[in-house]
Amino acid sequence: MAKLVPENNPVLHIIADEITSEEFTNGTVKKIISDLRQAIKTYKVDGFTAVAIAAPQIGVGKRIFMIEDQSDEADRLPTIIAINPRFLKMSKKTHLVGEGCLSIPDRYGLVRRSTNVTIEATDENGKTFTRGAGGLLAQIMQHEYDHLDGILFTDRAEKVWIKKDGENIEITEDNNI
């Protein structure tokens, strides 16, 4: 069973490799997607479910992420599988948004993200698609894309809090948490 790797795993800190055409035909892509689905379904912390995951988070250094909202909400996010994604557009307009991560469950922070993006990627069937997004979906795409480049949200965060003993403690250069 695929599991989330710990924050210190080297694959979370390197640029992931492109998926090759051979990996579509030899079953590698299907296996990675299956493993991502397995891992995302197991995540539940403090009553929150996962909405997205990238291959490096399960120890696979490949450029693939999946958005698959695990909530029971009626307005769930659309399922998107993005293989070898790249941003075609990123708005100059940004906003500061709260983020957490499956790979760092004890922290959350404030990250500056573009309000709108457009990606081009390949789907699980090998077809290229273009998808625009705003708000939360744009934020998630940027977060997951960062994983493919070895960047964690804490690397970009303007403020970070750690959950410790039921309290939220802001991390600064002064504290040794």
User: Which residues are known catalytic residues?
Assistant: 144
Residues in CB range of 117: below 8 A, 6 or more apart: 87, 89, 90, 91, 132, 133, 138, 141, 142
Task: Name residue, tokens 């696979």.
Answer: 60
Distances (CA, A) of 158 to 65, 98, 141, 153: 24, 10, 19, 10
Q: Name 161's bridge partners.
A: 108, 170
